Each structure stands twice: as C-alpha cells, then as structure tokens.
C-alpha cells in the first residue's frame, strides 16, 4: 500500500481525546474518547493494519459523561485513565477513574463493527478499577503516568495542585494516594495540562498553568523552572524531547509552537509559526526527535523538521553541483515537511504510534480520525 495516502475514518460522535496505547509495541493502536451529550459516551479502541491500510475498532461503553482526557498506562496495555464530566443536580463536576478492558477482550476482527453500523449489543462495558478521588476532593483536570514504568506512579491534576498516587506492591492497578502538592503563582495559575518528564529520574513534571509553564520537582515540591507568558494568554500543551534532557516544546493561543531549553528560559530556541489559529497539540517523535507534530483549530496538522535542535548531528550540503547526488544521504534541514489538511474541524488531539515510529493519528472535533505516515523520502533521510 502507498504509505503517503492518508487513511480517514469516522467515529460517529464528537471527540477531542486520542492517545496511542503506550504499552503496545506489536500493533498500531489508538484510544479515542467521545463527547456526546445525547448518547452514552464511548471509548473506542482503533486498530490499524499497516499492510492493508484497514481500520477496525472495538467499542466500549463509558457509563459516565463526556470524556475530556485520556492517558494510557506505560506498562499495561489494558489499563487506562479517563477524565470526564459528572452531573450532580445543576452542577457539573470533573472526575477521573482508572478503567480496564474486559479480561475477555477479543481480537478486533471478531468484536469490531465497521464505521457507522455499531449495534448496541456489540458494545462491551469497561471494568472500572478505581475512582481517583483524593482526600480533599475537587475537580480533576487530567491524569498522567510516570513514563518509565519503574515507579508505577500516577498524578491527578487539580486546578491548584497535583496529587501523587502509588501502585500497590500486590497489584499494578491498585493505587493509593501518597502526597498532595499545592502550586501557587501570580495571575492566571489554573493547571490545565501537564507532562511527566522522562528525564531527571522522573521526578519532574511540567505544568501548563494558563499563562505560564512551570517545572515542579516532586521531591522538594519546589519550582525547578518557570516560563512566563510563552504564548500570550493560554498555553495549551507541552511535550518533552525524550532524547535531550532539557528540551521542551510548547504550543498555545498565539498560533505558534516553541522549543525551550529549561536551563535558560529567557527566549525560545525556535519558534514555529505555520498555523493560523490556536495550536492545541505538540508532539515530539519519541524515537526521532527531528520530527515534531502540531495540530490546530485551523483544521491542519503540520509535520516539521527541527533537525538543528535534535540529538543527532545535522549535515548540510553546500555544493550545489553535488546536491542531486548527495540528496538521498543529506540530513534534514529545518522547516515544514508536510501539511495535512484532511480535517474540516478543529484538530484537538494527535499522537505518534508507540509501535511504529513513522505512523501517527490525528482527531478533529467532528469525529474524523486520520492516520498518516512520515513521507518515505524523509524516513530514508533520517535512517541513512
């Protein structure tokens, strides 16, 4: 099959949550959470066959409200966390829970319906493992996992702090609250999203706090770095370069993505200004940090090369006469590699596959899932 042809798939409901199954290394699988008001919401497990470009799905009923955030366990492919709305009279609360796919989870070929013809009887119920309600209560904005799987910890995000949970020694899916850290700052300081750093022995969490980015040391409960007003009003998301300990990418409402060195936050290392509206998502390729993905309310996904800031040495060809002969061995230069415009609505989520470093998926609010691959010529430039 042609690797440069996008695969487009509709999931029937509005949605803004998509993540790759972090513990899945053998198959390209993504998880989607829906945001339907009239119907029961769903968690959909998407399987992508790289040989045939076929997409199949397994649909699981989510008995609670609209799903606003999903995160997958890095060491157990059947375990994930979801944040959702819960209606209590006239009040809407933000809650979170750990869920597990049923023990009888079958292969997609037997349990998955084709797009648009899900029968109610084919929808399986998820097994709730734990309600993540901390001692102080309050709304939960998100759940993030300790990325290395060595400590088996999770963090729940509150509007003004974080709560750390540790897995039981007898069960990898039984968590108990271990500590609570309040985070205070001036001005707009509500925590909206976060990312657990894969570096520094996994003790640092990067927090998006509306108008700032803050590094929180979980051991000392102190701020390790602070980036003030990096994107105008709102910072939407951050991501760490897994190959360089101090590099951080961010995106926000100024229509840009920026790369920072957390040791010196006075100015960004690079500014990417190729979108025309709010940038909702930024993702480093976890294996090849020359590649950076962004998605926006302008309905586009952009794949950019940031080779000059990658962990690999960048070679440049200066002799124009020899350029044709050496192009296939030339390393990537900085700049836009490709613009993907298959969406017609705001693209709120995207992620790289954990099983194939060249495959990624994006999701727009109208429920359109698009699966793409890194262009073949770019792939070969990186590998050769």
Per-residue pLDDT reduced to its tens digit, 47-70: 999 989 999 999 999 988 899 999
Check residue 274 and give its pLDDT: 97
Check residue 38 and give its pLDDT: 85
CB 291 within 8 A of CB 305: yes
Check residue 252 and give its pLDDT: 97
The conformation of residue 27, written as its DSSP 8-state character, comes to S
Locus of tokens 């029961």: 40
CA 20 from centroid of its chain's CA atoms: 8
- Under 8 Å CB-to-CB from 121, ≥6 apart: which residues? none
pLDDT of 154 > 80? The answer is yes
CB 237 within 8 A of CB 251: yes
The CA-CA-CA angle for residues 335, 212, 136, to 5°, reads 130
Q: Within the chain, where are the H helices?
A: 108-111, 323-326, 376-383
What's the CA gap between 351 and 301, in Å, rounded? 11
pLDDT of 107 > 60? The answer is no
pLDDT confidence band for 238 (50 / 70 / 90):
very high
* CA-only gyration radius of the chain, Å: 21
Burial 346-370 (b: 16+ CB within 10 A, else e): bbbbbbbbbbbbbbbbbbbbebbbb
350 forms beta bridges with 362
What's the CA gap between 202 and 196, in Å, rounded? 7
Please, what is the average pLDDT of the chain?
87
Arithmetic mean of pLDDT, 158-173: 83
What's the CA gap between 196 and 98, in Å, rounded? 18
The model's pTM is: 0.90
What's the CA gap between 346 and 324, in Å, rounded? 39
What share of residues in the chain are helix, strand, coil (percent, to 5)?
10, 45, 45
Q: How is the beta sheet containing 54-62 ordered, strand by strand?
A: 15-20, 28-34, 41-49, 54-62, 124-125
pLDDT of 351 > 70? The answer is yes
Check residue 10 and give its pLDDT: 95
pLDDT of 326 > 70? The answer is no
Q: Would you list the DSSP string of 297-359? A: TTS-EEEEE-GGGSSSPPP----GGGHHHHGGGPPPPSEEEEEE---SS-EEEEEE-SS-TTE
CB 208 within 8 A of CB 194: yes
- For CA atoms 112, 115, 119, 123, the dihedral sign is positive
Among 46-55, 98-107, 291-300, the least confident range: 98-107
pLDDT confidence band for 356 (50 / 70 / 90):
very high
CB 56 within 8 A of CB 35: no
Q: Which three-class secondary structure state does DSSP give residue 66?
A: coil
Q: How many CB atoms lie within 10 A of CB 176?
A: 9
What's the CA gap between 97 and 219, in Å, rounded? 25
pLDDT of 220 > 50? The answer is yes
pLDDT of 373 > 70? The answer is yes
């Amino acid at each position: 099959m042609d690797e440069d042809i996008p695969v487009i798939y509709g999931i029937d409901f509005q949605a803004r949550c998509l993540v790759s199954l972090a513990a899945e290394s053998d198959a390209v699988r993504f998880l989607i959470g829906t945001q339907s008001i009239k119907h029961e919401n769903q968690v959909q497990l998407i399987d992508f066959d790289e040989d045939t470009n076929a997409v199949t799905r397994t649909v699981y009923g989510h008995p609670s409200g609209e799903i606003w955030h999903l995160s997958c366990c890095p060491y157990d492919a059947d375990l994930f966390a979801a944040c959702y709305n819960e209606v209590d009279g006239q009040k809407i609360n933000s809650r979170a829970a750990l869920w597990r796919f049923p023990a009888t989870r079958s292969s997609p070929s037997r349990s998955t319906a084709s797009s648009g013809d899900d029968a109610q009887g084919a929808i399986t119920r998820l097994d709730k493992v734990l309600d993540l309600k901390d001692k102080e209560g309050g709304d939960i904005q998100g759940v993030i996992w300790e990325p290395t799987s060595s400590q088996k910890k999770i963090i729940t995000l509150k509007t003004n702090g974080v709560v750390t949970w540790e897995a039981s020694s007898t069960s990898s899916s039984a968590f108990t609250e271990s500590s609570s850290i309040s985070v205070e700052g001036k001005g707009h300081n509500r925590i909206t999203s976060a990312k657990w750093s894969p570096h520094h022995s996994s003790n640092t969490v990067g927090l998006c706090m509306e108008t700032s980015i803050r590094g929180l040391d979980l051991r000392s409960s102190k701020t390790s770095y602070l980036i003030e007003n990096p994107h105008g009003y709102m910072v939407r998301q951050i991501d760490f370069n897994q190959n360089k300990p101090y590099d951080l990418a961010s995106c926000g409402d100024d229509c840009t993505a920026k790369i920072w060195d957390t040791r010196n936050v006075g100015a960004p290392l690079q500014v990417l200004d190729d979108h025309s509206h709010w940038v909702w998502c930024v993702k480093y390729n976890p294996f090849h940090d020359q590649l950076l993905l962004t998605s926006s309310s302008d309905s586009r996904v952009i794949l950019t090369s940031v080779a000059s800031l990658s962990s690999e040495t960048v070679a440049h060809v200066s002799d124009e006469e020899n350029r044709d002969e050496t192009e296939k061995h030339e390393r990537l230069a900085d700049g836009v590699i490709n613009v993907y415009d298959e969406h017609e609505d705001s693209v709120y989520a995207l992620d790289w596959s954990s099983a194939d470093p060249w495959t990624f998926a994006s999701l727009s609010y109208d429920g359109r899932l698009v699966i793409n691959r890194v262009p073949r010529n770019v792939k070969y430039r990186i590998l050769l």
